[in-house]
Amino acid sequence: MDGGRDRELRCIVHLDMDAFFASVEALDRPELRGRPVIVGGTGPRGVVAAASYEARRHGVHSAMPMTRARRLCPGAVVLPPRAARYREVSRAVFEIFRSFTPLVEPVSIDEAFLDLTGTEALHGPPAAAAAEIRRRVRGETGLTVSAGVAPNKLLAKIASDLGKPDGLVVVPPGREQEFLDPLPVGRIWGVGEVTRRVLGRMGVRTVRDLRALDREGLVRRFGAAGHRLYLRARGRDASPVAPPGPPKSVGREETFPRDLRGEAALRPVLLRLAGEVGRRLRRRGLAGRTVVLKVRFGDFSTVTRSVTLPAPVDDDGAVFHAGLELLGRVPPERPVRLLGLTVTGFGPEGAWRQLSLFGGPGAAASREALNRALDRLRERYGGDVVVPGSLLPGGEEGPGG
């Protein structure tokens, strides 16, 4: 069996916001429009999270070290990420997506697949529906989104990439191979830089070249990946658009501009991480029993430590104290490059009671009310509007003060 064509003619749309973080910054600060904008870590170890198309023309791209990005584009405006603002805009964009179909599969905060199969009576032909989605995103958020429409996810993703920025590319049923064959082989999923170089030595430059190779030879050379390359060169992809189920974990991590050493230096970071994890848990109506601490040392070696609590928690303080206990199990003398905190082990929604580390039921209820109030403040004014007293000079241990 070679995978065959999809069993039914599907209509898949891939939607990808254009330079999302940088575009949000230019939306909020109109004076940045038309200028090269780079969003990412501003310290010596910072990396590029997003770059406007003006910056990309200088060779800047995501995941690039910020020091190199600054050399390539010395006139760029470099800004730190504003995660809360990006989530706010993302929620508005995804609400538009879900108004067209419940079959929405997020790929990231700014990218998703939609299955519009069978929605023609509601939204018209696929190309018209995609154009309407793009129009609404622009009208309701002020941002642009590129779209690809095709019979499957593979082709829709390639199409939207080709349409960037602010484009719409449609791959009509029956013309899949005509669309694929002229493209560079690197456009195919699974063909990264290493695979592309290997294929290049085999004389493969385009998808047409790849399609000329037999399946057995590809499998001998690349193993199971060779079978996938054989199918993808023929535009075959039967994977469904899968809306996400409940998350299995909620976490946050931070890489430091300089290595930190010792509990005193790491405690404020742990407090920030616990606060962010707690807010994310409460936002999703989740609580978990297992807290996991991740520590990456200056030499890039990484260890994890975990503890399972008597009952599920979603409280910043409970997460912090568990993390602090785990930090005590890590060699204190070693310099630390990265710290991460994750909560997992979720039970059925509503089938948990908050573990109180601060007293009886009344104290737990007061703590929940405080958390809700703090969450509202932070959602409105940013994560740093309320700072735990222990982060202030002379502050005592524990968050929330």
Three-state DSSP class for 127? Answer: helix
Beta bridge partners of 257: none
Three-state DSSP class for 268? Answer: helix
Q: What tokens were used for 253?
A: 């991590």
Please state at what angle helix 20-28 crosses helix 83-98, rounded to 10 degrees: 110
Find out whether 110 is annotated in a ligand binding site.
yes
Smallest CA-to-CA distance from 286 within 345, 235, 243, 332 is with 345
State yes or no: is 111 an active-site residue.
Answer: yes
Q: d(Cα 90, Cα 160) in Å, to the nearest integer?
A: 18
Catalytic residue, candidates 105, 111, 176, 276? 111
Contacts of 331 (CB under 8 A, 6+ apart): none
Q: d(Cα 384, Cα 394) in Å, to the nearest integer?
A: 19
Please state at what angle helix 361-381 crosses helix 263-284, rounded to 10 degrees: 90
Q: Give DSSP secondary structure letters for 350-388.
A: T---PPPSSSSHHHHHHHHHHHHHHHHHHHHH-TTSS--
In angstroms, how far is CA 333 from the centroid of its own chain? 33
Find out whether 16 is annotated in a ligand binding site.
yes
Q: d(Cα 22, Cα 20) in Å, to the nearest integer?
A: 6
Cβ pair 149, 169 in contact under 8 A:
yes
The b-or-e profile of 22-32 (16+ CB within 10 A means b, else e) is: bbbbbeeeeeb
Question: E-assigned strands of 261-355?
Answer: 288-297, 302-313, 336-346
What's at 109, amino acid-wise? I
Annotated binding site for Mg(2+): 16, 110
Active site residues: 111
Annotated binding site: 16, 110
